[in-house]
Structure 1
Amino acid sequence: MAKARKRVDKVTYEAELFRLQAELVKVQEWVRATGARVVVVFEGRDAAGKGGAIKRITQYLNPRVARIAALPTPSEQQKGQWYFQRYVEHLPSRGEIVLFDRSWYNRAGVERVLGFCTPEEHARFLHQCPIFERLLVEDGILLRKYWFSVSDEEQQRRFLGRIDDPMRRWKLSTTDLQSITHWEDYSRAKDDMMVHTDIPEAPWYVVEGDVKREARLNMMAHLLSTIPYTEIEQPDIVVPERPASTGYRRPPRELTTYVPDHVASLLGD
């Protein structure tokens, strides 16, 4: 039996995470300077670590350049549209990065498994999706698709952790919990999805997600390796000298309502 590889320690993780985040800032500046359009799709089982990875990717990025698309349940009007239509509205314009926290692949997973779409709609999706993605790539969009994989034991552990944590309990929904009772159904749906949509123009990349820290580093490093960015030279910034006073006087403090000094109560002052 092969010896288990030790896990990355916290110091190594944080150092490498910061290095990768610094490279992502360079990608952002390259995207802004060249007018590139980048789409990153995050898919996978519930509690597989998609949200955590997105949070670390965007931590130091400009939200005007890199934005997250996490679409809610479609409205009645949207249900009457072409399926991909509401996602098209969120695609990037020139000089933008869009991270899809779940995407059009909802139809291949939760909608199919829980019966939110008909077999005909699901079959149509599997036919149209590769065409749709080829159109995106042909138009110059850099499309990257990541599937976060997690074992059933680890998913169960994370669900139980969320139940006991009032700060994360909101992450659990009825749909999430149904992923436990429909584990094999989701597995079959994912396999079917991969067969039809793992295309050369837009391949799927699977991220082993049982160890969150390693999943984030692996995914971020891979994403960087697939984008042909170069470092953009930034202009020098000079902070101007503050001009001499012209006699301005600040109004008396008592005329303004200030936020109470909560910190003072913590320090016992």
Structure 2
Amino acid sequence: MEQLDDDLVQRLHEELRDSYDEELELELEDRSVDALAGLAAGKLAPSSSEERAARRQYFSELFRLQGELVKLQDWVVSTRHKAVILFEGRDAAGKGGVIKRITQRLNPRVCRVAALPAPNDRERTQWYFQRYVAHLPAAGEIVLFDRSWYNRAGVERVMGFCTDDQYEEFFRSTPEFERMLVRSGIQVIKYWFSITDDEQRLRFMSRIHDPLKQWKLSPMDLESRRRWEDYTRAKEVMLERTHITEAPWWVVEADDKKKARLNCIHHLLGQMPYQEVDHPAIELPPRERHDDYSRRPVPRELLVPQVY
């Protein structure tokens, strides 16, 4: 196992603190940021006052942006807008983290995630884009692709899962495919999450040493680490050949995960001319009561044991 120096240990502690933050965010609605920051810090080495202040600022801005995302969702439903948002980047670049923050407060029937597995034998014989088309949005929907058809330009190219002819055909077809989507009324937004060599190493080390994250490391992830330069070349070609006016690429600097999340969400909100939608005041109707009804007790054998 790799020997850990003091600086790396400190960075791993920061990564673990971030992990606690990620899980605690869902519980923040009814608690103060100060209390939860203290809880998270208590699990590990104490964090500085500057770190606690930065954490509070991050949460405050995250919640504000998530409130705007709710307004965006209402506007999408009201106007029957259709949007596809692609998230691409190296392994451990933070794509899943920002997708989680975007969808965290939204209706999954309006904003849903498409994370497709590797194609099966039948799908490999289909038109390349066919399995992605099935996940495109209807009116009033947003679809977030956690990786997308750009797999062919990245992992398939680097790992030799496609031929040279298939690779070149992808670059001929993709700009036209995306223009066709835009002409049909689907807005296409593409994000590449960019991290440095050192940052990816740190995040992989964090996954190795965190039992809750080890499942995220696949043999393909480890091989991608070895082929860093091959992925860099593939990414550069991809951005050059598929950056089109109708669906441009946007690069998110993602070495700082929290700043990357905030910057990406802020930018995403600026890509749609959403406005706050007025809703009628909600009033809870009185419950109807009937004298001829009495609630039956739940059989004890059906109850989940109260272990906690």
**TM-score, normalised on structure 2?**
0.81
1:97 equivalent to 2:158? Answer no
Q: 62, 84, 93: which one pairs with 1:48?
A: 93
TM-aligned CA deviation for residue 250 of structure 1: 2.6
Q: 4, 12, 15: which one pairs with 2:60?
A: 15
Structure 2 residue aligned with 1:267? none
TM-aligned CA deviation for residue 84 of structure 1: 0.7
Secondary structure at the residue paired with 1:191?
helix
Secondary structure at the residue paired with 1:39?
strand
1:212 equivalent to 2:260? Answer no
Superposed CA offset, 1:186-220 (max 9, x none) = 00000111111011111100000100000000000
Distance 1:78 1:253 in 2: 48
TM-aligned CA deviation for residue 254 of structure 1: 4.6
TM-aligned CA deviation for residue 256 of structure 1: 5.4
Q: 42, 55, 79: which one pairs with 1:34?
A: 79
Q: 174, 178, 193: which one pairs with 1:148?
A: 193
Q: 269, 275, 278: which one pairs with 1:224?
A: 269
Which structure carries more helix by proportion? 2
1:184 equivalent to 2:229? Answer yes
The residue correspondences of 1:1-269 to structure 2 (distance < 5 A) are 9-254=54-299, 257-263=302-308
Secondary structure at the residue paired with 1:9?
helix
TM-aligned CA deviation for residue 165 of structure 1: 1.1
Deviates more, 1:72-81 or 1:233-242: 233-242
Superposed CA offset, 1:120-174 (max 9, x none) = 1001001111111111111111110000001110101111110111111111111
Contiguous gaps of at least 5 residues in structure 2: 1-49
Distance 1:44 1:244, change over 3 A: same
Distance 1:216 1:86 in 2: 28
- 2:142 counterpart letter in structure 1: I
Secondary structure at the residue paired with 1:146?
strand
**TM-score, normalised on structure 1?**
0.93
Distance 2:268 2:298 in 1: 51
Secondary structure at the residue paired with 2:302?
coil
- 1:234 counterpart letter in structure 2: H
Deviates more, 1:246-255 or 1:53-62: 246-255
Aligned residues: 258
Secondary structure at the residue paired with 2:122?
helix
Distance 1:114 1:254, change over 3 A: closer
Contiguous gaps of at least 5 residues in structure 1: 1-5, 264-269
